[in-house]
């Protein structure tokens, strides 16, 4: 009688093995879905990601006036009143960066006694999401 019970347990074990592997297969599928969240802006709205939470993530916005490469000895020779000429032309729009990544260009404006920036050119939402 012990042998028939053992035989009946073996088919149950083989039946449970595919059941045990099926969730792992689903886990792989959900991982590939998660990967799509990072590559396609439309997929961000999938059930795995709460878009409202994502939209509340703080980011750092900065405006870049220009850049200049200098030798260290030239930099050490600068004093108060020195002028460092930047690579950007006076009439060129400024770079608008989010977390160090370019997302738009703009010009300086006055906004209630403070500096502001008016966007003149902006990357598409897909390009912005992809670059961040």
Long-range contacts at 60-69 (CB < 8 A, ≥ 24 apart): 60/98, 60/99, 60/100, 61/96, 61/97, 61/98, 62/96, 62/97, 62/100, 63/94, 63/95, 63/96, 63/97, 63/106, 63/117, 64/94, 64/95, 64/97, 65/94
Q: What is the pTM of this model?
A: 0.55
Q: Which CATH class is domain 58-131?
A: mainly beta
Domain boundaries, the chain: 2-45, 58-131
Residue range 75-114, pLDDT digits in tens = 999 999 999 999 999 999 999 999 999 999 999 999 889 9
The reported pLDDT for the residue numbered 10 is 43
């Amino acid at each position: 009688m012990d042998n028939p019970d053992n035989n009946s347990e073996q088919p149950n074990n083989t039946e449970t093995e595919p059941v045990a592997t099926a969730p792992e297969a689903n886990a792989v599928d959900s991982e590939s879905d998660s990967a799509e969240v990072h590559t396609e802006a439309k997929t961000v709205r999938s059930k795995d990601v709460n878009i409202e939470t994502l939209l509340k993530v703080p980011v750092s916005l900065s405006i870049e006036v220009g850049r200049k490469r200098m030798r260290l000895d030239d930099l050490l020779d600068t004093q108060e009143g020195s002028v460092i000429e930047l690579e950007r032309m006076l009439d060129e729009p400024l770079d608008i960066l989010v977390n160090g990544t370019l997302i738009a260009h703009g010009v300086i404006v006055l906004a209630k006694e403070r500096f502001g920036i008016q966007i003149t050119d902006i990357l598409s939402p897909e390009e912005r999401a992809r670059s961040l």
